[in-house]
Structure 1
Amino acid sequence: MRIVKTKAKSIYTKSRIPGVDYVINQYVGCQFACKYCYAKFICKWKPYGEWGSWIEVKVNAPELARKYVEGGVVMSSISDPYQPIEAKVKLTRRVLQNMSKRTNLSILTKSPLVTRDVDIFRQFKNIEVGLTVNSFEGKEKKLFEPLTPIQRARINALKLLHEEGIKTYAFISPIIPGITDVEAIVRETKSYADYFFFEVLNLRASGKEFQQILRDNYPESYETMVNDEKFWRFIKQLKEEIKRLNVKTEGIEIHKRGWEFIQLQ
């Protein structure tokens, strides 16, 4: 793993994500190297090698994080703030320590390491922490995201955060027809998540390599994604399923941004 140490001019970047004002990326690149990751595009401007083979560490991020910005801030959009390097470098922890505790902060990760920083989370007036859950186990995990923490570890982290009084959400992504079991995920996490995001796979953004993996191993899923009629039928059924789950289970809020993510193609 190549570690590239850099200094940034700013740590808060204006965002185009619906409902998000700023994103903060103290790391660029991700050791989890998920095959479908949309952030792979950044390799065009970072000539360090293939996605997952390098990590850019913004060594002055903690100092830059002291600046207070109005609006919602999401950590992170082109990395995972709790990828393996964080256990040693503790860059995310130092950034959080220096951030204004008035910051409206949302954190998203696939790692149970996030539970380490509960003590800092409690200091924020408005914070939420999400775990990405997608039901990929066995063959799917080996093909799609072999280096990520297992699903059980993520769900356990969500549970611990909830028990510690931290606002939580489950980010169900990527939803792939015939593979992602949305209902099972909701039923397993509903007691620990204050709300849910639902993101359907953006096949184009996932890149040619992942498209080939999906086509070769799950041809029916691939066909649904590329056939407009089948795709929109799937979206309709998915929305109906989510609404049905919302009626059956108490305490589940379908976040308004989730519906926009549903529309991705």
Structure 2
Amino acid sequence: MKVRVIKKHAKSIYTKSRIPGVSWSINQYVGCAFACEYCYAKFLTRWNDYGRWGCWVEVKTNAPDLARKHVSGTVVMSTVSDPYQPIETELKLTRRVLRYMDKRNELSVLTKSPLVTRDIDLFKEFRTIEVGLTINGFTGREKRLFEPLTPVHEARVNALKEIYEAGLRAYAFVSPIIPGITDVSAIVEDTRGFTDHYFFEMLNLRAAGREFQELLREEYPESYEVLTNDEVFGTFLRKLKGEIKALNVKTDGIETHQKGWELAGM
């Protein structure tokens, strides 16, 4: 799929974040060619006429200069894009942002791409940094339906290992957890020896959008039922908490996005 590139001159690059525990987000790209069907950032298409999510990417051409600013608190890269999506191979915008960023900034990088290992040399220049790979274990039919354009599971696991073995703090972002599909225990076993911390996140069905909701209901009705029935969801969540506790890994709990279940502590 050909991706339209829209060049923008931004006024700022650091945006105040509403994510708990995160002070700032930084997005040198807006939009993502990985085009995951469940992506929560699809809401951005409401305010532009670029077309379907995944077929365009905004590029903030002056992002490296704007990144020089020193900010207090945690900075997350990125929240409405993937900093290592395919276009980064050619443009190297993320690499230039990292090069010019104030190394005193407390940075957390999250991606689905093994391209992240290219920038290990720059990561080592930061005083405080962690690098995470989104790992959900989707293969076969699930991957074709949910995220056909993303790097495969094994490539992400290998990238996480390389980050860890380089002496950097590495974390696994296990997301989205979809009942009956995401095998949390298998993911932990695949990454246990080279992961400092785990984040577990249930699928946010509402944020995933109507099209994905219909896809899940048609193709995986039992999974859809768990996510839309409070009683069934509660039972599933309790079992999942027990499963994660038995795995004995470092985590803050399970992000659920469900009313009354905002963070399921361990």
TM over 0.5: yes
In the alignment, does 2:178 pair up with 1:181? no
TM-score (norm 2): 0.95
Q: Is the 8 A contact 1:112 1:154 kept in 2?
A: yes
TM-score (norm 1): 0.95
Q: Is the 8 A contact 1:201 1:264 kept in 2?
A: no
Look up the SS of the partner of 1:169 in the other structure: strand
Q: Is the 8 A contact 1:158 1:168 kept in 2?
A: yes
Letter in 2 for 1:163: E
| Distance (whole Å) between structure 2 residues aligned to residue 262 and residue 147 of structure 1 | 25
| Distance (whole Å) between structure 2 residues aligned to residue 47 and residue 170 of structure 1 | 34
Q: Is the 8 A contact 2:204 2:256 kept in 1?
A: no
The aligned counterpart of 1:129 is 131
Q: CA RMSD in A?
A: 0.9
The aligned counterpart of 1:242 is 244
The aligned counterpart of 1:228 is 230
| Distance (whole Å) between structure 2 residues aligned to residue 53 and residue 111 of structure 1 | 18
| Distance (whole Å) between structure 1 residues aligned to residue 229 and residue 40 of structure 2 | 21
Letter in 2 for 1:6: K
CA deviation after TM superposition for structure 1 residue 232, in Å: 1.1
1:50-199 to structure 2, matched below 5 A, reads 50-199=52-201
Q: Deviations over 1:85-113 (max 9, x none)?
A: 00000000000000011110000000000
Q: Is the 8 A contact 1:8 1:61 kept in 2?
A: yes
**Runs ≥4 residues deviating over 6 A:** none
| Distance (whole Å) between structure 1 residues aligned to residue 64 and residue 53 of structure 2 | 25
Identify if the C-alpha distance between structure 1 residues 48 and 92 changes in structure 2 by more than 3 Å, giving closer, same or farther.
same
Q: Deviations over 1:118-145 (max 9, x none)?
A: 0000101100000000010000000000
The aligned counterpart of 2:15 is 13
The aligned counterpart of 1:249 is none
CA deviation after TM superposition for structure 1 residue 263, in Å: 5.0
Letter in 2 for 1:190: R
Letter in 2 for 1:99: M
Q: Is the 8 A contact 2:203 2:256 kept in 1?
A: no
208, 211, 214: which one pairs with 1:209? Answer: 211
| Distance (whole Å) between structure 2 residues aligned to residue 37 and residue 144 of structure 1 | 9
Q: Percent identity?
A: 63
Look up the SS of the partner of 1:4 in the other structure: strand
CA deviation after TM superposition for structure 1 residue 262, in Å: 3.5
Q: Is the 8 A contact 1:199 1:264 kept in 2?
A: no
Look up the SS of the partner of 1:191 in the other structure: helix
The aligned counterpart of 1:35 is 37
The aligned counterpart of 2:250 is 253
| Distance (whole Å) between structure 2 residues aligned to residue 92 and residue 45 of structure 1 | 24
Specify every segment of 5 or more residues in structure 2 that has no aligned partner in the other structure, as ranges.
260-266
Letter in 2 for 1:183: S
Q: Is the 8 A contact 2:30 2:57 kept in 1?
A: yes
Letter in 1 for 2:250: E
CA deviation after TM superposition for structure 1 residue 12, in Å: 0.2
